[in-house]
Amino acid sequence: MRANCKRVVTDSNGCVPVTILVIGMMDNNCFIVSDGRDEGAPALVVDPAGDPEAIKKALGWLDLQYIVCTHDHNDHLVGLPALAKTTGAKVVSSVADSKIIERGQGGYFGDWDAVAPVHVDRKVKDGETIKLGSLELEVLLTPGHTKGGICLYLKGFDGKPGILFSGDTLFRGATGRVDFEGGSEREMRESLRTKLAPLPDSTIVYPGHEGLTTIGMERRRVIQAF
């Protein structure tokens, strides 16, 4: 029950609307982005942290094509097995982190956050793109929090800023921890400075936990200081 959805909101400040679901005892952010809001428009979910029924309700009549896992930690994956099974959407993760996702994981806080093995349909590398209708989201490999952590970047258009799903790489005022297995301070620094710092200041950052921010704000107070 602790993986239930606590809040659903939609942010329309970027180049496409993003639905945000706050799920679980760690207040994870799960995101839905689509190429349009009409019935049958293609959609993807980023980090199904729990409550797959709430995620499906938020999707409505959208056509879920992809479930993207930014990294392999349990708290971001609790809803993955059920959501993948009931929707048939393709599961996407990095080559490195797919190994743990496909192996499955026991729970850290009890049975509620255990994650059964899930087949990863597409194992992406740095610079690949995920096509969602007319949208092309770029995969940025950003190790540091995990060995195969990724971010998804959609370039801005129509005068509106781009968006970045940053997982646990970058938060508002902080970076992801580097002291877990597979973490690395050196790799995190490299990821921040070579992959995220070059993005436009106006890029809206949708992190794995807590509130939204921008690359410009985090460049000044986090990226350059790390």
Per-residue pLDDT of 130-157, as tens digits, reads 999 999 999 999 999 999 999 999 999 9
What CATH number does residue 177 fall under? 3.60.15.10
Q: What is the mean predicted confidence (pLDDT) over 167-177? A: 96
Q: If you ran DSSP here, which 8-state letter would residue 54 be given?
A: H
pLDDT the model gives residue 111: 74
pLDDT the model gives residue 115: 92
Q: What is the mean predicted confidence (pLDDT) over 161-179? A: 96
What percent of the chain shows pLDDT beyond 90? 88
Residue type, 57: K
pLDDT the model gives residue 1: 42
CA dist 118 → 2, 89, 124, 178 (Å): 21, 12, 16, 25
pLDDT the model gives residue 108: 77
CA distance linking residue 19 with residue 33, whole number of Å: 7
Range of 118's domain? 5-223
pLDDT the model gives residue 225: 78
Domain count, the chain: 1
Question: What band does 75 get if pLDDT is binned at 50, 70 and 90?
Answer: very high
pLDDT the model gives residue 54: 97
Question: What band does 2 get if pLDDT is binned at 50, 70 and 90?
Answer: low
For 111-124, the pLDDT digits (tens) are: 778 999 999 999 99
Q: What is the mean predicted confidence (pLDDT) over 19-36? A: 95
pLDDT > 50? residue 197: yes
Q: What is the mean predicted confidence (pLDDT) over 221-225? A: 84
pLDDT the model gives residue 164: 98
Q: What is the mean predicted confidence (pLDDT) over 49-58? A: 96
Half-sphere exposure of residue 116: CA atoms within 13 angstroms, side-chain side: 8
Please, what is the angle between helix 80-87 and helix 52-59, to 10°? 50
Averaged pLDDT score across all residues of the chain: 95
Q: Are 29 and 207 a contacting pair, CB within 8 Å?
A: yes
Q: Are 201 and 215 a contacting pair, CB within 8 Å?
A: yes
